[in-house]
Chain A
């Protein structure tokens, strides 16, 4: 299965600023997924990032707030823009499992714990 390096691991940011989260995959993948997990909540898909095209955003998420880059098949970034305390969450990138064990499961990055003050 793919190995994903995600950074930063955590950050504390001032409201009104932006934070860019990076994910590097050790193999080429067609799609990368970005999730948010608010405190006490489950994972919610923000967007799907394909290389060479604009990301596809889920209902409730917009490009101006969460711009995504996907410059190649192994890398993606998610920016959380103009942050407010409501953006305090864990942000996770993931790719579809490719190993026999994973099947159609997800492999997740290590996550970024964001706190906005």
Chain B
């Protein structure tokens, strides 16, 4: 089964900082790469990436995929305490299977 690796596993920053979260994956049966934010229990969908080099943006969050190097990054600019969460990266495979990474635990201090 494909493996998804995220780094860093945890990160502590102060409000206003910019953070970059990393996700690398294997490519046996790649369909898309997804990012989720998990604050309490249920992950909430952030981005789905299928094409290399096309940045997806939502407010202060943005993400991009590099299918040649098999990685994706999630950027958060001007972080706020409400951004504190676990950020999960998941690889969607053909056959409707998803493989989740271990997550990056982000803590934003006031």
Complex interface: stretch among B14-22, B38-46, B63-71:
B38-46
B100 at the interface (CB under 8 A from A): yes
A11 within 8 A of B: no
Contact with A along B80-110 (1 / 0, CB 8 A): 0000000010101000111011110000000
Q: Does B74 contact A (CB under 8 A)?
A: no
Interface residues on A, range: 20 to 34
* Chain B: interface residue total (CB-CB under 8 A): 22
Contact B43–A43 (Cβ < 8 Å) = yes
Tell me if B100 and A108 are in contact (CB < 8 A): no
Interface of B, secondary structure class, is strand
* Residues of chain B from 30 to 57 with CB closer than 8 A to chain A in the complex: 31-32, 34, 36, 40-45, 48, 50
- Distance of A90 Cα from B88 Cα, bound (Å): 15
**Are A42 and B34 in contact, CB atoms less than 8 angstroms apart?**
no
Interface pick from A14-22, A61-69, A75-83, A96-104 = A96-104
Does any Cβ of B come within 8 Å of A53's Cβ? Answer: no
Closest 8 CB pairs of A and B: A111-B41, A108-B42, A103-B48, A43-B100, A42-B100, A42-B102, A105-B45, A111-B42
